[in-house]
Structure 1
Amino acid sequence: MSTSDDSSGVATEIERTLRRYPGVARARVFRDAGGELVAQVLPWGTHAVTADQGVLAELAAVNMAETRFLHDEIFVDEVYLRGGIVLREDAVVFDVGANIGMFSLFVEARCPSAKVYAFEPVPEVHAKLQENIAERGLGTRAFNFGLSDREHDVSFYYYPDISIMSCRHDYTNWDNEVELIKRYVANERRNGPPGRAGHLAEVEGLAAKDFEFVECRCLLRPLSAVVDEVGVRAIDLIKIDAQRAEYDVLQGIEDRHWPLIQQISMEVHDEAGSPTEGRVEQVTARLDDQGFRVSVEVEEMLRGTGRYAVYAVRPGYDRDPRPVAAARSVDPGSVAGWLSGRLPADRLPDRVVVVDELSRPLQGHAS
């Protein structure tokens, strides 16, 4: 590495490139005490990612509190890979309720060969999704509409302060959302990792606010129409988090397309006295009728909030010959080799180091 190069500019270029490596959340490049140019890479899925303001700040996000929540839920807790759900090489994944794309990032980090179709109806949030896809070089294809039982325009309430609670106006249940926030904070204070007091206080503050919302018209379409248009021959996994509209998504699947679907991982709302009452029974009955092996789970912190996780796996999918994508470890040698194919030799770091926490550089820091 030529020492006459502009180290700051080179470091920035290397860092931007490294963020496109599957599984890398953030990179920091600097010269060490011996003058070597060192590239530190921090993988997704560590609590250090949540604690480091800079890591998640590099994502296009609506607000930081919910971005930390999404990272921990998807990367750390892996809530969508339970109940026997797996990611196979070359999987086709439908991300329904994609928000800013955290699950798409997760799939790419775990299984770079996967093809992801992401659906987000709220225009402001969809713009963040597209930005994250472009910045990270993901192959995800994003659609600015949601999925439902038929094609129609619906009024959505978009909450800029906490976009993950945005939903169709006819499914709004804010008291339930506030209770969920309070339980999450209490549980994380008791059982979560240290060093997150500021984050939890920020999340707790959301429950005390008088939330403002923006009403917008959003397009919803049936899943079967999308399958016909994109021409997929099989869907390995449908992840659904549609804020009380999950049964509507299933209603948009025609009988001819059900055999294409191998797995479904979804959050189901079943709240007494609301339009979603009885939904778990409806959902499981529909999945049973379609031949899936179904399991229902309730996290202890969500007990009493009417939130359930439903997992459905097609019998025989375990005999699919494609290997299951294991939890990926970011290997320094692989990262270095990958970089060498994307940067000129005089702009390559002398060393690549995978870390659990980014250290402060001695000099030449440019991140």
Structure 2
Amino acid sequence: MTSPVWRRGLRHGVGASIEHDAALKLLSPAMIVDIGANRGQFALFCADRFPGADIISFEPLAEPAACYRRVFAGMRNVRLVEEAIGPDEKETQIHISKRDDSSSLLPISKLQSSLFPGTELLETATIRAAPLGASIEADAIAKPALIKIDVQGFELEALEGCKELLPQFRWAYVECSYLELYEGQSLAPAVIAFLEDQGFRQTGEFNRVTDKSLGPVQADFLFER
């Protein structure tokens, strides 16, 4: 039976991202930082799976952010910050996809729109980006904490923006690509190496997408320290 939290999302047309259950079912975070929240799909999953955890989400696009606020209205343990995470505090351009959950701070490549039809560029917009520390102080991160990053090719830059606070997190859960789906993006080996340098070790790979001709395309990676 659908949980009350999931039903809250479905009333607004938002489904919980239950595909992450296998990756996260053994975790017990007290806080979740959700970078690249879109309409709250991951936050819905976490609010049901980890009902005692505080959730802080980041989403720079106005329309998905407004939907997120409607979904979680009245839930005191869930908070949204309407900005992107990156190494510098600035206004920057985002490339909005026809499917807005595929939008990125990097240009959308032809390979992305070929492999995932309907994710072509729709328009660009100016949004705010800042390091994670601009919104969260180290002593406000309840432990053990999980950081999730799903930012369509901008993973390494987002992690750079989190670097000072990464020691506060026990787990990192990051979507990475094996192929260049967004122009200039860092691929999975570089992201994995960065996290290993920060004291994490990879403990699993989940939800791998594979193309018959090109091989592995992308996957979700779980890390622990």
TM-score range normalised by the length of the shorter chain: 0.7 to 0.9
Q: 1:223 to 1:85 in 2, by over 3 A?
A: farther
1:135-187 Cα offsets, whole Å, 9 max, x none, are: x736310011011112111111223x41111112x332243243135xxxxxx
> Which one has the bigger strand percentage?
2
Shift of 1:115: 0.2
Q: 2: CA distance between counterparts of 1:175 and 1:222? A: 29
The structure 2 residue matched to 1:178, chosen from 111, 114, 130, is: 114
| Correspondence 1:118 to 2:83 | no
- Write the mapping of 1:75-94 to structure 2, written as runs, cut at 5 A: 75=18, 77-78=19-20, 81-82=22-23, 86-88=26-28, 91-94=30-33
In structure 2, distance between residues paired with 1:237 and 1:221? 19
Q: Given the alignment, which residue of 91, 99, 116 partners 1:162?
A: 99
Unaligned 5+ runs, structure 1? 1-18, 27-54, 62-66, 182-205, 315-367
Partner residue, 2:88: 150
Which residue pairs with 1:48 in the alignment?
A: none
Measured in 1, the distance between the counterparts of 2:99 and 2:145 equals 30
SS in 1 for 2:189: helix
Amino acid at match of 2:90: H
Contact 1:85 1:311 in 2 (8 A): no
Equivalent residue number for residue 350 of structure 1: none
> Which shows bigger deviation, 293-302 or 259-268?
293-302
Residue deviations 1:62-88, cap 9 Å, x none? xxxxx5xx64xx22x226x51x67442
Distance 1:158-1:261 versus aligned 2 partners, 3 A rule: same
TM-score (norm 1): 0.53
Instruction: Give the Cα separation in 2 of the matches to 1:95 and 1:299.
Output: 18
Is residue 215 of structure 1 aligned with residue 124 of structure 2? yes
Quote the offset at 1:107 in angstroms.
1.0
Residue in structure 2 matched with residue 102 of structure 1 by the alignment? 41
TM-score (norm 2): 0.83
- Answer with 1 or 2: which has the greater Rg: 1
Question: Among the aligned pairs, what percent are the same residue?
Answer: 23
- Aligned-partner SS, 1:308: strand
What is aligned with 1:313? 224
Question: Is residue 31–residue 142 contact of structure 2 (8 Å, CA) maintained in 1?
Answer: no
Partner-residue secondary structure (3-state), 2:136: helix
Alpha-carbon spacing, 1:163–1:98, altered in 2? closer, same or farther (3 Å): same
Aligned to 1:289: 197
| Mapped partners of 1:113, 1:272: distance in 2 | 38
Q: Distance in 1 between the 2:71 and 2:146 partners?
A: 21
Aligned residue runs from structure 1 range 8-157, under 5 A: 22-25=4-7, 56=10, 58-59=11-12, 61=13, 67=14, 71=16, 74-75=17-18, 77-78=19-20, 81-82=22-23, 86-88=26-28, 91-134=30-73, 137=75, 139-157=77-95
CA spacing shift, 1:212–1:312, aligned 2, 3 Å: closer
User: Greater relative contact order: 1 or 2 (C-alpha under 8 angstroms, separation 6 or more)?
Assistant: 1
Counterpart Cα distance in 2 of 1:104 and 1:138: 13
RMSD (CA atoms): 2.9
Cα 1:272–1:173, aligned 2, differ >3 Å: closer, same or farther?
closer
State the shift of 1:297 in Å: 2.9
Aligned residue identity for 1:220: A
2 CA distance for matches of 1:224 and 1:107? Answer: 22
Residues 272 and 123 of structure 1: is their aligned pair in 2 closer, same or farther, counting only changes over 3 Å?
A: closer
More helix by share: 1
Distance 1:23 1:126, change over 3 A: closer
**Residue 92 (structure 1) shift:** 0.4
Which of the residues 202, 205, 210 maps onto 1:302? 210
Cα distance in 2, alignment partners of residues 156 and 287 from structure 1: 25
Deviation >6 Å, runs of 4+: none
Deviation, 1:127, is: 0.8
1:260 corresponds, among 168, 171, 187, to 168
Q: Aligned pair count?
A: 220
Determine the C-alpha separation between the residues in 1 that align with 2:149 and 2:194. Answer: 15
